[in-house]
Structure 1
Amino acid sequence: MNIWHHLGINPTEDKSLIRKAYVQKLKQHHPEEDPEGYQKLREAYDQAILNCKRKSQSISHTDEDEDEHVFIFSSHSMNVSFHEGRTQEDPLQDFMEKVHAVYNNMASRIELTSWLNLMQEDVMWNIRLQYAVREQMSGFIDQHPHLPRGIWGLLESSFHWKDAIRKDRDSFARQFPNIFLHVFADPLYSTSLRYTYIKQFEELETYLDYRLKALMALKEKNMQLTEEMLTKAHALFADDPDLLRLRGEFYLRQGNLIEALTAVDHCIRIVPNDLDLYLVKARVNYARERFNEVLRDLEYILSHQPEHLDALALAGKCYMRLREIENAKEMYQRITHIQPFDIEAVIQLVELDKKKGSIR
């Protein structure tokens, strides 16, 4: 891979130039809209930075020393007011005030360009302030973690939290539990919540805390905590599709199928084109043994995504319950065509052949 081609610059050992090029290219390769392009860009960036470290051992040694103490915070430094002791010209304080402004407005908070602009501020390239910026931002983001996945990716690439975690996992996890969760421990799950349909209201941050806790409790199968958090969140904002999805999943696991269906139908009315919702609804109706309704929703999913493995597998189960062996076989054959070593599909095909033979 030609890393400089992906970064769009000539070979250089100047880390600031590499970072600026990376930030510029991120505008073309949004992590959520172009994950493949983003992955190649990120690999090029990581390799370029690694090359710099290898070619400059003395600087590397200094960087490592700095990194060792950059994540050591006192409780005082974490909570200091951004206006306390401010001089007339304080670039770090000005920068953090801009960060606050972006985060406090939901429209700008979820817009990647807002954060890209912040990452291009002069203070980000000021060698003298680099570690102080990292300190302040790490403390702020850990206390304000409700951000879309793409923005988490941008911030990680700017502040290299994964490197710090690899150096001292336990210490980092204690100091910055939310950053640890979102960029290292469980990034795909914890950043799966969306913000598109969130409105600005007084108790927004409290609501988002409840929603995140509900998600993680559901993952950990702590149903009592899940129900508590879902109830509190629902009382604050009942029309968030992601919260409704969580409620549907919770009620499905609890066997409360009517409540599950009510939550999912409410969600579909808000976002009618979300295919994942139709899969959740299909699972609910499968538990209700409404197989024809299940197949109707699965057909809708497969008309848009013919290789949707979960939809194909559930369709296969439905056809088996309806004793439509040929249709069931077709679903599992489609799965093995996509994933030849899908064990469940292979086993089901063997069983279907046995049933077909016994019928003859």
Structure 2
Amino acid sequence: MSGQDVVSEASDGFAARYGHPADGVWSAPGRVNLIGEHTDYNDGFVFPFAIDRRTAVALGARGDSVLRVASTFSDESIEIAIDALAPDAVSGWSAYPLGVAWALGEFGADLSGVTGVDLFVASDVPIGAGLSSSAAIESAVALALDEHWGLGLDRPTLAKVGQLAENRAVGAPTGIMDQSASLLGRQDAGVFLDCRSLDAEVIPLGFDADGLALMVIDTKVEHSHATGGYAARRASCEAGAAAMGVGSLRDLGVDDLERAASVLDDETFRRVRHVVTENARVLDTVRTLREVGPTGIGPLLDASHVSMRDDFEISVPELDLAVETAQAHGAIGARMTGGGFGGAAIALVTDALVPVIERVVRTAFDERGYGEPVIFTVRASQGATRER
């Protein structure tokens, strides 16, 4: 499904569900994190890019103070009064759009005088694949409500709105990377984000000019950030920073790892080592893109996967098989992407190798008795925008 197909699906779905045309449609992309995993909530560096898989939200004004949401992935419509919005008042999939509406008020938007809206959501961002289908919903809704209600918030603030909704309304302790990529992305470029200062720089990737494609290998092993593994890793990072006497792991460099090994227990040390070395790999990736080009970043992608597999322990056998098979058949580099415990791997390959690697990965999964993966390519895409 193309981005315009999703826009039409949201527009048509709105009319079918509510009986009249929408006043506007906004869309926002999912994201692939090229490198920089679990560094965001440690005040570190990340380098994601927006992808050409999008979520669209159609919006129509109401004459009362009720918010109503519906979508292609649920048969129910959910309603709540604006003055009843609270993190514990929303649940299920509706926590994403309704959580955004609540979070706007937490960032200074005066919601007391706004009127209600009907929303209808459609998406072709795969759910549970580590491509941030959640941030795509949050970013599209945040942009739509900001414009419709005339709030005047800038995109970095809207990213914070989406993060707060995810943290408080959904209950997932994620950082700000996903929403930043979805709101700030550009064509054939990545978003180099300092998660402490929130300074963002758009860095050309050069994939298109070099005839490169980024393959996504969705293992279909589902994960959820709201469950224990992600939260446990975050707690380990916080414990490691406290034991090392720093505010966050961002304050440690590779030269500090020798001392960390003497201060921390083995598991906490390995969690810390992943974050510290991953921050260094993000910086090295940006430098390599500038100085060498995209064909030079493969070893950094490969090293990132080893670190997530062995130090952070968030990979699964299906992800390891996808990465190792792609590497063995000519990928420039490959790694798992996203929060881990399932989801997707990525492989940077020449356009000509895409069908070859797809075939060998499918064969490898079949031979191991794993479920069939979903494999597709993504291009770096424009961030959130109004479509109609």
Calculate the TM-score normalised by the size of structure 2: 0.30
Greater RCO between the two (CA within 8 Å, min separation 6)?
2
- Larger % of helix: which? 1
Calculate the TM-score normalised by the size of structure 1: 0.32
